[in-house]
């Protein structure tokens, strides 16, 4: 076959160029996909670690809450005991400070003594 100068040049490189382009595109896509999958795996590991730490923290906080609840119950019991003791002591003090009331119809002893002394002088 003779080449004609006016005929367009033959494009023998076109299939090879398309093949190289497709290979490069596939390689780039595979590289980006592996990076994306690697990032997802790393993120999954990080989230798993955070979840384990959170669960440990929750367990720690629950133990702390239980301890504080026990302490609060103890303090409430001590408060009620102290309050009852204070009420009892207050009641004992008020009854000790009040003079006994004489039965009705009888004079108080100090008045009787004063009357007897007056009568003895006369």
Q: What are 54-84's pLDDT values in tens digits?
A: 999 999 999 999 999 999 999 999 999 999 9
More confident residue, 57 or 6: 57
How many other C-beta atoms lie within 10 A of the C-beta of residue 121?
Answer: 5
What's the whole-number mean pLDDT along residues 105-114? Answer: 60
Segments making up each domain of the chain, as ranges: 25-96
What's the whole-number mean pLDDT along residues 23-43? Answer: 96
Report d(CA 108, CA 70) in Å as an integer: 56
Q: What is the pLDDT of residue 111?
A: 62
pLDDT confidence bin for 92, thresholds 50/70/90: confident
Whether 43 shows a pLDDT value over 90: the answer reads yes
pLDDT confidence bin for 91, thresholds 50/70/90: confident
Whether 90 shows a pLDDT value over 80: the answer reads yes
Measured in Å, how far apart are the chain's first and last C-alpha atoms?
177
pTM for the complete prediction?
0.47
């Amino acid at each position: 076959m003779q080449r004609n100068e006016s005929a367009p040049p033959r494009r023998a490189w076109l299939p090879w160029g398309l093949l190289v382009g497709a290979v490069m595109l596939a390689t780039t896509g595979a590289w980006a996909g592996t990076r994306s999958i690697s990032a997802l795996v790393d993120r999954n590991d990080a989230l798993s670690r955070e979840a384990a730490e959170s669960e440990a923290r929750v367990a720690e906080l629950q133990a702390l809450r239980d301890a504080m609840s026990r302490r609060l119950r103890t303090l409430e019991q001590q408060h009620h005991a102290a309050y009852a003791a204070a009420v009892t002591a207050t009641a004992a003090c008020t009854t000790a400070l009040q003079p006994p009331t004489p039965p009705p119809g009888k004079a108080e002893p100090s008045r009787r003594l004063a009357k007897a002394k007056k009568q003895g002088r006369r």
